[in-house]
Amino acid sequence: MPAVALIAIIDDDESACAAIMGLVRSLGFNTVGFHSAAEFLQSDDVLRTACVIADVQMPGMSGLELHRQLVATGSSIPTILVTAYPDETTRRLALQAGVTSYLAKPVRPENLLDCIRKALAPSGEQPS
């Protein structure tokens, strides 16, 4: 893994994508942004990405569908889902599917940092 992890931000709302990218950069990570799951999947950045932060509701492929697609293709990129419309059913399905975290927007910096640390921690280790 690179010295500073690359975090892919995927959100169809340009301002939300830019805001989360800025927040993640301020936490010390490199970021790359995409406005759709398909755009991310077609990019060369998939192979370099250490963690995905994706919106749940997007046209085309949702954040949860993106996670499932990554798993189906053997890519075990830890995924954090964010949503402006949190609901318990989607949260439960996402966590059962192996999503690392599920957060409501607006995302609080300390919560996001905890989720990123959890996502990047080696398997079985708890972040400090």
**Domains of the chain with CATH codes:** 6-120 (3.40.50.2300)
**What is the percent of the chain where pLDDT is above 70?**
93
Eight-class DSSP state of 61 = S
| Per-residue pLDDT at 2 | 45
Q: Write out pLDDT tens, residues 58-77.
A: 999 999 999 999 999 998 89
Q: Write out pLDDT tens, residues 77-89.
A: 999 999 999 999 9
81/97 Cα distance (integer angstroms): 12
Helical spans, DSSP H, in 73-108: 88-96
* 66 in Cβ contact with 41 (< 8 Å): yes
